[in-house]
A and B are shown apart, each in its own frame.
Chain A
């Protein structure tokens, strides 16, 4: 019985680890965001560096999922970003990737 529980625990851990690891932020960026955003330079959309400097992880995730409503809450006059239906792992990975461009303020 003990062996079975240990096996299940290890399997769960392995599965969880694999799911989390299976989405790479840069890959998600290249799949969905790359046509309009750049990591450090202003493009059609704002740079990740700029987004990371003023938005929290939750705000970033909300904007990706429902940009029309969230842009209004942010006080933007208009929104050109489409909503994205990402998997949870993809949303986590891209949010972390965006935040990785935050510059440390001295």
Chain B
């Protein structure tokens, strides 16, 4: 009882806070936003045309378009290390004692330690995408050779050593992937379908889709890991104005007709809504879908290209990166209205959240 009381009192003193890190696409920097205000910028982060940031505990990592991995402290906002894995990197994943980076150019996957010292380089002869972790497995897709590779960490006593466990021949030109429980879901640019690999059984199956759309795709969709609700998987279609909805065991439910070609499908923290961004002429628009009724319940059109968005978990808010007009728009997700606009961000794209406890 005393223990419970202590925990209760502690919880009253401690609040989870969010700090937003926004990629400034053209100026090699990250804008740092807290409590709705731009506080500062972390500079010299290399070419951020496709900058991606991830956090693990109190470590922040970033990869740049020109192949750098940068480790920084999201509390002190200081850079701690950097390492250039290649001329162009596209994605990475943080393990307990390593960081794995998928490279476009030099067609390899790099394994570094948490301080970015190189451990292993896996040469694949292909651009690599969709890098994910599952238990002691490292999974990624080879875009040029239509394969998914599963490597296993055989290192002992905290050491890291990945060895090839199995490779699967999959659909044409895999471009991104997500993990749902034990399943690795991979999207294809040139095959009408998506692949699912059961990572426990190491079995692959192709889920065919019947969409006939073949519109020019001006930005490749992103899967991320945030398109999976309690009972559904949302997949942005390639070349069609639709978001595909499947059950968790990959039975077709519905194609949702959208305004444009989808890029991101991002699930709200309460899993009630999915926010969808678009490419081409519909770059400035986002649409909000109710994940139960599967109807579009709201649409917003901004005065410039929307490149990314992120749901806050601290407040009922959706942060939207409006690249052309140098601002982050914040949508009140209870009233579904623009709550405010945050400036002092230059050409924003990716928005990433670091959560910490604040007394």
Determine if B87 is an interface residue (Cβ-Cβ < 8 Å): yes
Q: Which of B270-286 contact A (CB under 8 A)?
A: 279
Question: Assuming the A-B contacts A41-B47, A43-B88, A80-B190, are A36 and B104 also in contact, with contact meaning beta carbons closer than 8 angstroms in the complex?
Answer: no
Residue contact B220 to A41, C-beta cutoff 8 Å: no
Let me know if B49 is at the binding interface, CB within 8 A. yes
User: Of residues 19 to 75 in A, which have CB atoms within 8 Å of B's CB atoms?
Assistant: 32, 34-36, 38, 40-44, 47
Interface pair A78/B172, CB less than 8 Å apart: yes
Asked whether B218 lies within 8 Å of A42 as measured between CB atoms, the reply is no
CB-based contact B87/A42 at 8 Å: yes
Closest-CB distance, A97 to chain B (whole angstroms): 16
Q: For the complex, is B105 an interface residue (Cβ under 8 Å from A)?
A: yes
Q: In the complex, which residues of chain B have a beta carbon less than 8 angstroms from the beta carbon of A34?
A: 218-219
Query: Does A84 count as interface, using CB distance less than 8 angstroms?
Result: yes
Interface residues on A, range: 10 to 19
Inter-chain contacts of B216 with A (CB < 8 A): 82-84
Number of A-B contacts (CB under 8 A): 51
**Chain B interfacial residues counted at CB < 8 A:** 24
User: Which residues from A are CB-within-8-Å of B105?
Assistant: 41-42
Q: CA–CA, A34 to B218, complex, Å?
A: 8
Could you tell me the distance between the alpha carbons of A32 and B216 in the complex, rounded to whole angstroms? 10
C-alpha spacing A80/B105, complex, angstroms: 18
The answer to whether A36 and B218 have CB atoms under 8 Å apart is yes
Given A41-B87, A43-B50, answer yes or no on A36-B219 (Cβ-Cβ < 8 Å): yes
Cα–Cα distance between A86 and B67 once the two chains are bound (Å): 32
Residues on A with beta carbons closer than 8 Å to the beta carbon of B47: 41
B200: min CB distance to chain A, Å: 31
Q: Which residue of B lies closest to A67 (CB)?
A: B216
Question: In the assembled complex, how far is the CB of residue B67 from the closest CB belonging to chain A, in whole angstroms?
Answer: 8
Let me know if B140 is at the binding interface, CB within 8 A. Answer: no
Using Cβ atoms and an 8 Å threshold, which residues of chain A touch B50? 38, 43
Residues from chain B with a CB closer than 8 A to the CB of A36 are 217-220
Taking a contact as CB atoms under 8 Å apart, the answer to whether B65 and A43 are in contact is: yes
**Is B327 in contact with chain A by the CB < 8 A criterion?**
no
The 3 closest A-B pairs by CB, nearest first: A35-B219, A82-B216, A42-B105
